[in-house]
Amino acid sequence: MVGVYGGGAFVLVFLACIALIGVPVMLAETLIGRRARQSPANALKALALEAGHSAKWSWGAFAGMITALLILSFYSVVGGWSLDYIIDMGRGDFQGVTADQVGAYFATVIADPWRLTLWHTLFMLLSAAVIAKGVVAGLERSLRIMMPLLFVMLVILLGYSLTTGHFMEGVHFMFDFSTDKLLDGLLPAMGHAFFSLSVGVGSIMIYGAYMPKHSSISGTIVGVALLDTFVSLLAGLALFPIVFAAGLNPSEGPGLMFVSLPFAFGNVAFGQLMGVVFFVLVAIAAWSSAISLLEPMVAYLVERTRIRRGWVTFWLAFTCWFVGLGTVFSFNIWQQAKFFVNEGDAFHLYQWGAAGGLDFFGVIDFFTSRIMLPLGGLCFVVFAGWVMGREAVRDELSIRNPLLFTLALFLMRYVAPIGILIVFAAQLWK
């Protein structure tokens, strides 16, 4: 995202969106989940009725859960890439390669629909298996080891970046501020803030439902946001010097990690082992995120129907897998299929072979990340700030300092909702 939207300007807007919009929405989702102890749609319905408001607020959560399934449809495809690269790294396919060779290798991978479908299918099956069995404890225990290890790997990559001779070039790219692309990056930055914190779809509400009453919501959320942002910046500082050292284009898009990092691992001592470990950890991180995207709708349908959890999980996972085939084919056999094409004064909803427009993956990504995530966040933060009532929020947040509580409520009631609307308005005005 930093590469596509011009570096420092995007980073600055992203940080502002995290602090002023993402954190308040995350607070709202968590306290809603913990107060209701139910799936997102049922939580909003129960709390709205408790406060004397319409049960139709649950529609916002239901839309968020649909958004989560759409995100999972393409997230599974990219998660499948990481599984593929574990095998490729283990075989030593990237040892001593040039940047051009790695780029050509990645192009070969995504050009093969059968290969992508295989890994997409495996990734979805792994995610569904955990949800169906409810093996939360085992996953949690493994993540306590794997995620710190992934952080260690990032630090090692940062150390390698310092040796490339292009570290300061990466720093300048990330933090030099230019207003040229400021408006272009507003909506993407807000969408990415929501995506990074996993807010706007109800996933955080599920975590809130399992959060102990004695835990501090505000302290936990601020800690998560700070750590998430720090790791995001660390990943950028590790990645971009490698990108410039390899002579790659920083605006390559979602495939950038699968080109620059294999190049780095292929040209350092113990790179083959480091590469395998890194992509295993990335796959596990993606796996845990996929589970949190699938769980809200599974929990909702299990609560509302008598269908067994295994069958609910199977049909939802199958639906996501089927929609995900559109993303698979966007990189190969449907590459020429373009939607929302603007050609001068003419607008085409769909056109084969157009120079502009969005492919299927682009449409799903744009609709979910830049439209539905912020709208879902707007629904949740307005609900927590205005519908639940001041005392209910105070009870869940348990903030003893009255000034800090007033600040938290002000952010949820005014700053975050107005900020979301301003970003949407700026994008329309542009």
74 pLDDT band (50/70/90 cuts)? very high
136 pLDDT band (50/70/90 cuts)? low
The matching CATH number, chosen from 3.40.50, 1.10.260, 1.10.4160, 1.20.140, for 8-429 is 1.10.4160
Q: Which amino acid is at 247?
A: G
Residue with token string 């109800």: 202
pLDDT for res 343: 73
Nearest to 258 by CA among 86, 117, 127, 126: 86
Q: How far apart are CA 18 and CA 183, in angstroms?
A: 17
Q: Nearest 5°: CA angle at 314, between 312 and 315?
A: 70
Q: Which amino acid is at 253?
A: G
* Chain centroid, CA 93 distance in Å: 29
Q: Yes or no: say if 317 and 297 are a contact pair by the CB < 8 Å rule.
A: no
Domain ranges of the chain: 8-429
Mean pLDDT, range 234-249, rounded to an integer: 84
Task: Produce one character per residue of 208-241: b if its CB has 16 or more CB atoms within 10 Å, e if not.
Answer: bbebeeeeebbebbbebbeebbeebbebbbbbbb
Report the predicted TM-score, pTM, of the whole model to 2 decimal places.
0.86
404: how many CB neighbours lie within 10 A of its CB? 12
Q: How far apart are CA 423 and CA 186, in angstroms?
A: 6
Q: How far apart are CA 126 and CA 200, in angstroms?
A: 24
pLDDT, averaged across the chain: 87
Longest Cα separation, the chain? 66
Q: Yes or no: say if 383 and 412 are a contact pair by the CB < 8 Å rule.
A: no
pLDDT for res 254: 66
Q: How far apart are CA 316 and CA 189, in angstroms?
A: 29
Nearest to 286 by CA among 386, 141, 150: 150
Q: What is the pLDDT of residues 172-212, one digit of tens each?
A: 888 887 777 777 778 888 888 988 888 888 889 988 988 88
Residue with token string 């700030």: 385
pLDDT exceeds cutoff 90 at 223: yes
Q: Nearest 5°: CA angle at 265, between 264 and 266?
A: 90
pLDDT exceeds cutoff 60 at 102: yes
The token duo for 385 is: 């700030």
Give 341's DSSP letter.
E
Rounded to the nearest 5°, which phi and psi values hold at 26? -65, -40
Q: How far apart are CA 261 and CA 86, in angstroms?
A: 13
Q: Yes or no: say if 20 and 416 are a contact pair by the CB < 8 Å rule.
A: yes
Q: How far apart are CA 329 and CA 327, in angstroms?
A: 5
Q: What is the pLDDT of residues 340-374, one digit of tens each?
A: 887 767 777 878 877 778 889 999 988 888 889 88
pLDDT exceeds cutoff 90 at 130: no
Helix (H) or strand (E) segment spanning residue 337:
strand 337-343
217 pLDDT band (50/70/90 cuts)? very high
Q: What is the pLDDT of residues 19-38, one digit of tens each?
A: 999 999 999 999 999 999 98
As a whole number of Å, the CA-based R_g of the chain is 22
